[in-house]
Structure 1
Amino acid sequence: MKKTTLGGISAILAGLCYLLTVILVLISPPGKNAVVDHVTHMYKLMLVHYILGFLGILGIMVVLTMSRTIEKQSALSEWYPYSKVMAIIGFALLAINNFRQTGLDHELSHEAMHAGGEVFNAVVIGWVGLVELSPQGWVDFGFVGIWILTVSVFSFHSNKLGSYLGLIGGSCLKNDEPAVSA
């Protein structure tokens, strides 16, 4: 098993990013709609987007490190290389989507509130499709979840507790609602 300092630091920082995101979303109670929420909780939700953007970058580093770590266990697998690419695509989209949203959400929500009326209603109705590149989270969260499940299966013999946590965590990384649109 090969370990790297950069990979370990990236994994710890990625975990902290997930935790901070959950805390920030929980202390930003949902309002009437995403447009109003992005005006009311602007700084908290902007911070969430920045954290998720950096999480995407750190996640790519974690995928590459974990791939080296479980190299022997996954050497004969036809599935693992596909799941690894899926995770890299998922984390890259997470970074792109959230760094893109740092400007888009702020401008779109404030302009819609200022315009009011039909413009406001149209933005509220189309919010997810306007700001999210993966509106249901299948690519950014789902692909990462599939990879976490795959790594958990391959590392089961060497780390049972970590594998169980990975199986639970990987199963949770698909949502039916956008991560930060509320």
Structure 2
Amino acid sequence: MARPLSDDRRNAIIIAATALIAERGLSTSTADIAKHAGISNGSVFTYFETKTELFNAIYSELKEDLIQTVLAAIPSDQDEKSQFRCFWLARTQWGVANPGKRKVAAQLHVSDTITDASRRAATVSAAPILDLIDQVAKRGTLRAAPRGYVLELVEGMAGATMDFMIANPAMAEEASQAGFDAVWRMLA
């Protein structure tokens, strides 16, 4: 009878892979991931049949962590602008607090190894956030723009804001507010 898989070991692989991808990029070897996780190289493939499967698991976990953090911060009983401000603050604070995760998520976002199924699952999970952005954008100058384009603009502005916040911690709060004001004016 096969031994049941360990959640702790699976999590160790994902944590090790995330740290190494943040440091070295997507070309990180599974041997290095295994070594960093404290397991044998073959054990990686016990939990993930391929490196692509591992990368998709990391992508899904990072997206879910970000999405749940942001959703928890958006109050349902406030006006649209207040909700959008809470989204913005949670999004940028998550990125500043998790620079390695942010870097890995960005690399995986543009990687061909991420499957359409993983991307769709993240979109479904993020539906309330995406709906909020759509609601705000439907009145502004980008109202006729494709949803994907609007989302990339918002993410690009969030990225620029987070980069500045990380590089200038004394001005982080000011930068976050300026970023929010700019993205709000762009959308609304």
TM-score normalised over the length of structure 2: 0.33
